[in-house]
Structure 1
């Protein structure tokens, strides 16, 4: 979608994009720059940021601001034996869970714990990837993503821990199509007011940089290009 997004921005169109906005930092930067030059609004659809139950939880934990540790597990059986319509997706087969559901995990952790300054990554079975992230300010988090767990092992969990105790991400209570409608409303609001949304291209670009750094740490891509955190 990145080349199309650049063309749309250059034509003066406001941008509602899916995550990840691109799979290389260079492409993400190109889209971001095109939108900035054209002065168009942008929103990238990170589902949980537009569902009230989960979005309110993220905002509440970000306001607390004293978290030390975080964890997010996005474990899917798409290629692990489930009867899933997503199993026919060539893109998911090629890029794996890191790029498909990794953005969801980061969309929850980054607003709460802050930007990532260091990334370590280890491959697990199938397309499973384990990430350890150090955040600005000293907190840390662990992320596991997979599309190859068996159905009995699937699930989504996220939590943060600190002096305030333990806070666990609630389950989303509405279908994605309703959250998508809120993303459309958010884009219209950004266009009317000129105020950037929290899930704009700048945020999406940062997500791409972090995931590309993780991919480089796995040895999958020798040169991710663009700005990125330290990799180990």
Structure 2
């Protein structure tokens, strides 16, 4: 399948571009970015064509992968879907419910397939853990803690304006919702409490009856950074395995290949825009609760 890449930042150069270039059944046709200089450089590194017009790229491909800020992605994804392109999207799909639903509805109208790159859903050890959780059953709850250090000089995303503006809720929160949904089932209710800077504690009620908790910040002290997650219930405690080193690149190749399969088979992917939009709805509800508490 002929793919185009939208974006030229760190994520595009580290994961999306190399992932598409190496993915089976994928031909990387070209790259478009908001910086012509960066676009030319990345296209040269990937051995593909730099486009100076996104619409021209959409016209030349069958699918588009996005590695741009969510508010940029939402607008371009609507246009790409209208041009008949299948969508490989970043999380969050958008930072407003209206924009997320607009992308979903555009894809539905055009009849194009979609996959949202919720990373852990495409990593083999994580998938094995999800399978074990589902096969075992009897889970009453779960947890996820993710502390990152956006201000660490070595953080490749430290210069990302939208991450600093939106914080961990919108940057890491989509992963948390996706991961705990895959383990414990759809989330039907969220409650949110904020702390220092972007620190947020979320409590999820799942359709299964389970309750899970999430603690997130993008501004943790470097010694405190880390990730852990798990579920608990009748069988005891089952921790989620850590991500293997350098897992993101292979995971993205899996996501691209599964978008191709979704198109070929005509079946929705479990991590499509239906999930992506629901995640944005939950994040927006959490953000509204945090805003209301600040006003109080």
Q: 1:102 aligns with which of 162, 173, 176?
A: 173
Q: 1:59 aligns with which of 116, 127, 131?
A: 131
Q: 1:47 aligns with which of 119, 128, 131?
A: 119
How far apart are residue 210 of structure 1 and its match? 0.7
Query: For residues 136-168 of structure 1, what are the alpha-carbon distances to aligned partners after superposition, in whole Å with 9 as ceiling and x for unaligned?
Result: 132101101111110110101101000011111
Cα distance change, pair 204–63 in 1 and its aligned pair in 2 (3 A): farther
CA contact (8 A) 1:51 1:174 kept: no
How far apart are residue 66 of structure 1 and its match? 1.8
Question: Hey, what's the Cα distance between the residues in 2 that align with 1:77 and 1:221?
Answer: 25
Could you say which structure has the larger radius of gyration?
Answer: 2
Aligned counterpart, 2:23: none
CA contact (8 A) 1:119 1:213 kept: yes
Aligned to 1:127, what secondary structure does the other structure show?
coil
Query: For residues 150-191 of structure 1, what are the alpha-carbon distances to aligned partners after superposition, in whole Å with 9 as ceiling and x for unaligned?
Result: 011010110100001111110111421111111100100001
Runs (5+) with no aligned partner, structure 2: 1-72
RMSD: 1.6
Aligned counterpart, 1:76: 148
Structure 1 runs of 4+ aligned residues shifted over 6 Å read none
Q: 1:150 aligns with which of 198, 221, 224?
A: 221
Aligned counterpart, 2:184: 113
1:141 is aligned to 2:227: no
Cα distance change, pair 110–40 in 1 and its aligned pair in 2 (3 A): same
Aligned counterpart, 2:288: 216
CA contact (8 A) 1:131 1:144 kept: yes
1:132 is aligned to 2:203: yes
Structure-to-structure mapping, 1:14-33, within 5 angstroms: 14-33=86-105
